[in-house]
Structure 1
């Protein structure tokens, strides 16, 4: 019963619609009615600005971190913490507090990794930042990063065991599932990338030029 209740708590943590609440409380805007209509970090940056975007990014990462840490907080050792993280990711993507229409799972997934293996989180964050600098597109960066991070779960134990000392098949399985999920959530972005109309950020080699 305790595990069941904590899984519900993990879902509720993930369901906190950071972008929606920040927009409504501080800017009197529902970001779902602007830009891409997405509730995540990227649309928040575009619609509400850097401070709001950074706050939402931190909150979305924190949701995954707190949810994944629940077994540590309550002394539960018979279930892998990643299970709680995945439930939080589902909550973020299908939030009960926002009509089950949420973000694209990237930031909350990062928070899950942060709680589970901080070193691997730093490694993954570096991959993301480097790719974002090269592409200047959050969507493309998110998808490529997901693939590379998944492959890394299989390669790092044999190359840089300091980061991942051994193959963690649950981590790899979740990474594969999240990669597929992230690609599915970026279907419209993929179309825009192919058409050359995908939005770019003001960072990196191909940064969006401000008029």
Structure 2
């Protein structure tokens, strides 16, 4: 195990996760900081709300890519013979957590970021592709039926560790399953205000209909 390379990978994962996609895009093309509008978060959902669908899609895709890239740094370390194959998943978890932490607390913009759901999804894609894609389907079903992004995010996040418990998706590594439930707890914590609004019937619904000319 090359400790120096692992530390460098960890720092890089955090820096990648910290890239404030919505803030930089909003300031560069719209002249505004999305954190001053809507929910005040620098995430894809608030970007959809403040800057529109196109900007929201760009931010969402980049944030997903951030999580996937940072998590996949573990594979690069493996190919560099810095870690053993048995350590890949452990490093993926570490790097993924650091990327999500970076998104929530980005060093580039005073540690005020988003909720990390898109980055978390990118991380999950790197850890278990099949289960992650099924979670996307679950998210879309909840979104189209309820029109609540927050509800869809929480249910899809909970579905990830539950799917890993099933024989079809089981990675035979208890750490990944435990981590999945921990991630769900983190998402719930970052969505406390949304949960209160959902209970009170005050949560904003997302208009997902395509515009017709």
Q: TM-score, with normalisation over the residues of structure 1?
A: 0.89
Deviates more, 1:33-42 or 1:140-149: 140-149
RMSD value, Cα = 1.6
Shift of 1:73: 2.3
Runs of 4+ in 1 over 2 A off after TM superposition: 76-80, 165-168
Residue 178 of structure 1, aligned match among 175, 180, 183: 183
Residue 10 of structure 2, aligned match among 4, 7, 29: 7
Q: How many residues align?
A: 199
Distance in 1 separating the partners of 2:127 and 2:154 = 21
Q: Deviations over 1:145-191 (max 9, x none)?
A: 2222222221x22xxx2xx2443312112211111111111111111
Residue 130 of structure 2, aligned match among 115, 119, 123: 119
Matched-pair contact (CA < 8 Å) for 1:94–1:100: yes
Matched-pair contact (CA < 8 Å) for 2:15–2:102: yes
Matched-pair contact (CA < 8 Å) for 1:41–1:53: yes
1:197 has 2:208 as partner:
no
Name the residue aligned to 1:109: 120
Name the residue aligned to 2:103: 92
Distance in 1 separating the partners of 2:170 and 2:46 = 37
Report 1:2-151 matches (<5 A). Answer: 2-74=5-77, 75=79, 76-78=82-84, 79=87, 80=90, 81-151=92-162
Mind listing any 5+ residue stretches in structure 2 that lack a counterpart?
A: none
Q: TM-score, with normalisation over the residues of structure 2?
A: 0.88
Distance in 2 separating the partners of 1:170 and 1:5 = 23
Deviates more, 1:4-13 or 1:192-201: 192-201
